[in-house]
Structure 1
Amino acid sequence: MKPDETKMLEKYRLEKCPSSAYYIQNFLTVEEEQLLLKNVYNVPQTKWTQLLRRRLQNWGGIPHPNGMVPEVIPQWLQTYLDKIADLNVFSGTPNHVLINEYKPNEGIMPHLDGPLYSSTIATG
Structure 2
Amino acid sequence: MIPEDLFYSAEHEWVRLEGDVAIIGITDFAQDQLGDIVYVDLPAEGESLESGTVVGELESTKSVSDVFTPVSGEVIARNDALEATPEVINSDPYGEGWLIKVRTSGEDPTDGLLTAEAYSAVVSA
The answer to which structure, 1 or 2, has the higher relative contact order (CA under 8 A, 6+ apart) is: 2
Alignment TM-score, normalising by the size of structure 2: 0.26
Alignment TM-score, normalising by the size of structure 1: 0.26
Q: Greater share of helix residues, 1 or 2? A: 1
